[in-house]
Amino acid sequence: MANWYIQTGKNSDVVVSSRVRLVRNIKNIPFLTKCSDDEKKAIIEKLENIIPSIGYGLKLFRMDKIDDITRLSLVEKHLISPEFASKNDNLKLKAILINDDENICIMINEEEHLKLQVFTAGLDLENIKNLIVELDDKLDELLKFSCNKQYGYLTSCPTDLGTGMKASVMVHLPALEITGNLNKVLHIVNSFGMNIKGIYGNGSQSVGNIYQISNNQTLGLTEEEIIKNLNIITLKIIEQERLARKNLTKEAIELEDKVYRSYGILTNARKISAQECLKLLSDIKLGMDMGIIEELTDLKVNKLKIYLQTGNLQKYIGKQLNAYERDIERTKIIKKIIKEK
């Protein structure tokens, strides 16, 4: 089976992916802000020792043993944060637990002792919530997490108190951008207590009209309420984006011209950057979803979005390249993926 970030799911015309994460700290070990290096190493060893009992096909990888390109590729797949992958921090004190399908990834010693994450393509928050709760229960049984009857799970960051759950969706909103309604919709989303971020989380920019929307409250809400609220907001966003796309059909020639210009540049360029690729793919995906362009499939577009980024391109090629070389090789990969049967 293809990895989740290559697949399509429910409402994939608007929702790229769903993620649910839980942050947890192990009982009787200080928060990371007060943890010694030896205690951080002990956390990693605890996880390493219980791997056979966890299941799910999880394997442990120490961050200092992962090469630079692979770390970058994990960031580009949204499996780990850019900060967690940074060489400026002590990578010897960090690790990840991940399975072969890469739909489960646990960061060890990021902001808290553990950050559990489960991913899927499209909008499917309920099912991945059930999976992560099952995983959390198993880990709690094996490790014993810090918890308080009044405040719930204890964390160093006050915004994560309570359930410690953050649910998020990546949404593709090109029509709202084109019609000039994007800021209005995002403002309404924000007023309902949701965070709106770029594709790599806090402080990052939107690329290719993709935005990450997540809950900003974990205390005083149950896991079910968090998922329900985000589902309601996401369905409203889907409705507004589809309405904007319907309005675009009133100027069909202009839209077709925009889509095919982007397709022409993507398929005929001899040198192209990752940023430009993502912008062009945004137009092309919109054209596909609206039945304008039939030259590509969702599978091929999803592959292009992953393998044209800096780290994954070099993983695909199998060697390290400088920026100029990457821009040239990128055009070759585009042609190769498009020709796939």
Is 244:179 a contact under the CB 8 Å cutoff? yes
Given CATH 3.40.50.10170, say whether it is the number of domain 4-244.
no
Classify burial at 321, counting beta carbons within 10 Å of its beta carbon; exposed 0-12, middle 13-18, buried 19 or more.
middle
* Percent of the chain topping pLDDT 90: 80
Per-residue confidence (pLDDT) for residue 88, from 0 to 100: 75
The domains of the chain are located at 4-244, 250-339
Number of Cβ atoms within 10 Å of the Cβ of 177? 18
Residue 200 to residues 74, 105, 162, 181, Cα–Cα distance (Å): 12, 16, 24, 23
pLDDT digits (tens, 9 = 90+) for 278-334: 999 999 999 999 999 988 999 999 999 999 999 999 999 999 999 999 999 999 999
Copy the structure tokens of residue 189. 């989303």
Query: Of 28-37, 117-126, 224-233, where does the model show the most confidence?
Result: 117-126
What is the per-residue DSSP string for 165-219?
A: EEEEEEEE-HHHHHTT-HHHHHHHHHHTTEEEEBTTBTTPPPBTTEEEEEE---T
Copy the structure tokens of residue 255. 């839209």
Name the residue among 125, 132, 285, 144 with its Cα closest to residue 209.
285
Q: Average pLDDT, whole number, for the chain? A: 92
DSSP 3-state assignment of 319? coil
Tokens 């800021």 appear where? Answer: 183
- The sign one gets for the Cα dihedral 167, 169, 170, 175 is negative
Per-residue confidence (pLDDT) for residue 186, from 0 to 100: 86
Among the listed ranges 107-116, 139-148, 182-191, 238-247, which one has the minimum average pLDDT value? 182-191
